[in-house]
Amino acid sequence: MPAPEPDASIQPRRRRLAAGLLGGGLLAPWWLGGCAAFDYRAPDAPEALARVPPLQPRPRLALVLGSGGPRGYAHLGVLRVLEDAGIQPDLVVGSSVGALIGCFWASGLSAAELDALSLDGGPLTVFDPWPFADRGWIIGQRLQDFVNTRLQGRALEQLPRRVLVAATRRSDKAPVFFSRGNPGVAVRASGAVPGIVSPVGIGGVEYEDGDESLPLPVSAARAAGADWVIAVDVSVRPGATPPTASAAQRLRDQRRRARIEGEAARADFLLHPDLAYDAGPWRSYFVDARRRGEAHARERLPALLTALFAARVAG
C-alpha cells in the first residue's frame, strides 16, 4: 500500500493511530518494541537473490499474491475458494502482505485457520510503533517474531509448499527475492512500507516493501519455471483514486498501476476483487475484504477450472 504523503500533520496522525490501536488492546507499549535500527546478521539470515533461479522440480502451478496492505485480507477469501475447488499450487510467490499470507499458507495453515487468525489480533495488527523514528514509525520486530512463532521456527525452505518472498533493495529500488532462511525477516523486509515501517537491514544492505518494485511478482513465478500462473491483484481498480487526492498521490497510484499491469499481463489467469480505495487495520475492513475476495473468486471459478483443464494443469 502506498505510503501517505509527508506533511506537517503526519506525526500527530501517526500518534493518534498508534493510540487508537493501543486502546484496542492490539499492541504492547511502544517502548517495549526495541530500537528502530535493525540489521540482521544471524546465520539464518535470508539471502537476497537478484534473480530467481529455475526451481527443480519445475513448478506446475504457481499462485502469486500481490501487495495491498489491509486489502490483502481478500487473499484469504480467494484461498478458501481454491481449497474448496481442490486447486493446489506447488509454488506461492508473494509481495508485502501477499508474502505474509503466502508464507502462512505455504506452512500448511488452511484458509479457514488464517481467517480465524486474522480475526484474533492477526498479523496486520501486530505493530510496534516507535514515535521518534525518522524512517518509519513501526519497527517490525513484533511482526517478525509473530511470523517465526506461528511457523514454529522453520526456515522458508522447510515449509511444506515452496514459497518466494519479493522485496525491494532500498538503495536502487531493484526487486529482490528470498527463498531460504528466516521467514520472519523476509516477510518483515517485504512489508517495510517507506515512511511507515522501518527498512530492514540484512548483512548491511537495507530492504523495503516489495510494493515499491513488484506489487504483483508474476515475473518471479515465471523465472522459477512455473508452467501456469494464477495471480491475485488486491490493489484498487484503475481510476479509483478519489478526485480529492493530491497530484503526488495520483502520480504514485499511476506508477503503481503501471507496475502491476506489466506483471498481470504475464499471468495465465488474473483474479482482481473490487476493493475500496480507503483501507485500514480494522476488523470490519478485514471481514469485508475477505468476503469480497471470496465472492470474486467464486464468480470466476468456472472460468478458472475451464482454463486449468484446457492447459492440463493438475489441481
Predicted TM-score (pTM) of this structure: 0.86
Neighbouring residues of 13: CB distance < 8 A, sequence distance ≥ 6: 4
CA–CA distance, 58 with 227 (Å, rounded to integer): 8
Strands 269-271 and 200-202: unpaired
Identity of residue 85: A
Strands 162-169 and 205-208: antiparallel
* Nine cell digits for residue 46: 535470508
User: Are 214 and 166 in contact, with CB atoms under 8 Å apart?
Assistant: yes
CA–CA distance, 90 with 102 (Å, rounded to integer): 12
Q: What is the pLDDT of residue 279?
A: 84
CA–CA distance, 209 with 252 (Å, rounded to integer): 15
Cα end-to-end span (Å), the chain: 31
User: Are 58 and 225 in contact, with CB atoms under 8 Å apart?
Assistant: yes
Q: What is the pLDDT of residue 122?
A: 61
Q: What is the pLDDT of residue 10?
A: 33
Exposed / middle / buried, residue 152 (Cβ in 10 Å: 0-12, 13-18, 19+): exposed
Is the bond into 57 cis (omega within 30 degrees of 0)?
Answer: yes
Kindly write down the DSSP assignment for every residue of 96-125, as one continuous string: THHHHHHHHHHTT--HHHHHHHHTTT-GGG
Q: What is the pLDDT of residue 200?
A: 96
Half-sphere exposure of 238 (CA within 13 A, CB side): 7
294: phi then psi, degrees, rounded to nearest 5: -65, -45
CA–CA distance, 86 with 119 (Å, rounded to integer): 25
Segments in the chain below pLDDT 70? 1-37, 121-125, 131-133, 314-315
Neighbouring residues of 173: CB distance < 8 A, sequence distance ≥ 6: 212, 213
Q: What is the pLDDT of residue 125?
A: 63
Residue-wise pLDDT for 92-135, tens only, equals: 999 999 999 999 999 999 999 998 887 776 666 677 887 666 77
Catalytic residue set: 96, 209
Residue-wise pLDDT for 55-70, tens only, equals: 999 999 999 999 999 9
User: Which residues face 174 on adjacent strands?
Assistant: 169
Exposed / middle / buried, residue 141 (Cβ in 10 Å: 0-12, 13-18, 19+): buried
Q: What is the pLDDT of residue 25?
A: 24
8: phi then psi, degrees, rounded to nearest 5: -65, -20
Q: What is the pLDDT of residue 47?
A: 94
* Nine cell digits for residue 229: 500462473
* Nine cell digits for residue 291: 468476503
For residue 230, which of 115, 75, 123 has the smallest C-alpha distance? Answer: 75
CA angle 288/279/258 to nearest 5° reads: 110
